[in-house]
Amino acid sequence: MSVRTRFAPSPTGYLHVGGARTALFNWLYARRFGGTLVLRVEDTDDKRNTAEAVQAIYDGMTWLGLDWDEGPDKGGNYGPYRQSERNAIYEKYLAILEQGGYLYEDEGAIRFRSPRKSVLVEDLVCGRIEFDMSNPATHPDMTIRRPDGSWIFHFVNVVDDIEMKISHVIRGEDHLSNTPKHVELYKALGFEPPKFAHIPLILNHEGKKLSKRDGGSSVQYFIENGYAPEAVINYLCLLGWSPKDNREVISIEEVSQIFELENINRRNAIFDLDKCFWLNGQYIQNMPIERFAELSLPFIEKAGVNYGTKEALLPALAIVKPKVKHLSDVPDWIGFLFTEDFAFDPASVEKSLRKEGALERLKQLGEAFSTVTEWTHPNIEAKLKELAASLGVKVGELVHPARVAVSGRSVGPGLYEMMEVLGKDRVLSRFARAATI
C-alpha cells in the first residue's frame, strides 16, 4: 500500500508550532517513502474559521518549505479538501451507520452506539495500547451530529481518512484517547483503520502544553522576528525526534532520507526558544551571501533602506553577516551605509569624538587616507597603523573616533571592511561631517 499522510488543521488563527511540527512529521514520512501528503482543511466550525487563518496555514507551511501534493489549492482525486464542502459524503456514511444499527437519537443529537468491546491500538510510536470501552460512565457514546446539523470532529475525521485513502495518521499525543473511538467507527463502517503514530506533545519550560501566550508558539513569530526557515525547520525536527548521533544542525534534506516513526521519542518535547535562536545563528553564519540577501531583503525594504542595486547591497551584507543573529536586525546593521544623514549615538560621540585630541587625530587620519591610491582593506589598515605609530598612540585612539565618524556609533562591522565598502570619498566626507557635530 502506498504511503498517504495528511495534515488536517482547523483554520482558527496562525499556524501553531505544534501544528507545524505535525505537518513536518507527516511531510517527512511521505517524502521518506515516496508517498503523498494531503492538506485537508477542517473548517466545519463556522464561528471560528476564517479565510485569513486558511491563508496563514498556506503561508506558514510554504515559508517552512513544506509542500503538499493534494489540497484545496492543488486539487486531487479525493476532494473536495475542505470539510465544509463534503456534506454529501458525510450524509452517505451516516446512512451506512444507520443501516448497521449503530445510531440513535438523543435530545436532537445523533449518537453512535459503542459495541462496548476492548479496542487494541498498535501505535507506531506509543506501542500496543488496549482501551477498555465497556464502561459507559468513562466512555460514553459519542455524538456524531449536533442538533443543529453540524458534524462532530470524530466522525468527519474518520470519513475523510477513509475517502482520502490515508495510510498513516501521524498526529499529536493529545489525540491518542480519541483513537479507540475512531477505530470503532472504522470497523462499524467496514474499513480497516490506518496505522496510527501519536507524537509527543510540545511543552513549555513549566511543563505545560505550549500555548499562544508562549513566545515562539506560532510560525508567524519566526517569520516576523527574522528567523531563517531552514533553522526553524531544523529545530522542529528535533522536537521529539533525533538523528541518533547527537547532531543538532541537520538539513531537512538529510532528515527526509533517514526519518523513521520508530525513532520518535516517547517523552514530551520541551520547547526551547534559546536553542532555536542558537540554530538560527548557525544557519545565518553558514549560508551563502545570496541566500542571506534573499532572506534579508523583505526586512530591508520594509524599513525603507534605499540600497540602490543588488550589486551595492551584497558587499554591505557581507560585512554585517558575521554579526547578525536575526534577519530583522539587518536594516539597523546596514542602514548607515546607504545614507549620509545617519544619526550619531550621543554616548558614542561623548566617549570617542569628544575625547581630548580625538578630532585632531581624526583630521590627521583623513589627511593620511587621502594619500591612499588603492582603497582596500589591507591598505586602509596599514595606513591607519602607520599613522598611529608615527603619532605614538595606540591604534584604538584612531579606530574608535573613525568608527563613530563613519557609522555614528561605537559598535558595528569591522572598521576596515566598513571603510572599503563606503569608498574613499565617502569616508573622508564623513570624517569632515564628524568634525562639525
**Half-sphere exposure of residue 436: CA atoms within 13 angstroms, side-chain side:** 5
146 closest CA partner among 12, 8, 46, 40: 46
Residue intervals in the chain for CATH 1.10.10.350 = 346-434
Q: What is the pLDDT of residue 314?
A: 97
Say if residue 317's pLDDT is above 90: yes
Residue intervals in the chain for CATH 1.10.1160.10 = 219-285
Say if residue 1's pLDDT is above 80: no
126 closest CA partner among 268, 269, 266: 266
Say if residue 244's pLDDT is above 90: no
Reported confidence tier of residue 47, pLDDT bands at 50, 70, 90: confident
Say if residue 293's pLDDT is above 80: yes
Q: What is the CATH number that goes with domain 346-434?
A: 1.10.10.350
Reported confidence tier of residue 18, pLDDT bands at 50, 70, 90: very high
Binding residues: 212
* pLDDT, tens digit (0-9, with 9 covering 90-100), for 101-154: 999 999 999 999 999 999 999 999 999 999 999 999 999 999 999 999 999 999
* pLDDT, tens digit (0-9, with 9 covering 90-100), for 165-215: 999 999 999 999 999 999 999 999 999 999 999 999 999 988 888 877 777
Q: Hey, which residues are catalytic here?
A: 212
Q: pTM higher than 0.85, yes or no?
A: yes
Say if residue 336's pLDDT is above 90: yes
Cell numbers describing residue 131 = 482501551
Task: Reduce the secondary structure of the chain to three states and give it as a string.
Answer: CCCEEEECCCCCCCCEHHHHHHHHHHHHHHHHCCCEEEECECCCCCCCCCHHHHHHHHHHHHHHCCCCCEECCCECCCCCCEHHHCHHHHHHHHHHHHHCCCEEEECCEEEECCCCCCEEEEECCCEEEEECCCCCCCCCCCEEECCCCCECHHHHHHHHHHHCCCCEEEEEHHHHHHHHHHHHHHHHHCCCCCEEEEECCEECCCCCECCCCCCCCEHHHHHHCCCCHHHHHHHHHCCCECCCCCCCCCCHHHHHHHCCHHHECCCCEECCHHHHHHHHHHHHHHCCHHHHHHHHHHHHHHCCCCCCCHHHHHHHHHHHHHHCCCHHHHHHHHHHHHCCCCCCCHHHHHHHHCCCCHHHHHHHHHHHHCCCCCCCHHHHHHHHHHHHHHHCCCCHHHHHHHHHHHHCCCCCCCHHHHHHHHCHHHHHHHHHHHCCC
Residue intervals in the chain for CATH 1.10.8 = 287-338
Least confident stretch, 47-51, 271-275, 364-368:
47-51
Binding residues for ATP: 212
Q: What is the pLDDT of residue 245?
A: 84
* pLDDT, tens digit (0-9, with 9 covering 90-100), for 361-388: 999 999 999 999 999 999 999 999 999 9
* pLDDT, tens digit (0-9, with 9 covering 90-100), for 143-164: 999 999 999 999 999 999 999 9
Q: What is the pLDDT of residue 12?
A: 84
Residues in the chain: 437
Does the domain at residues 219-285 carry the CATH identifier 3.40.50.720?
no
Q: What is the CATH number that goes with domain 287-338?
A: 1.10.8
The whole-angstrom separation of Cα 24 and Cα 334 is 34
% of the chain at pLDDT higher than 70: 100
CATH superfamily placement of domain 86-199: HUPs (3.40.50.620)
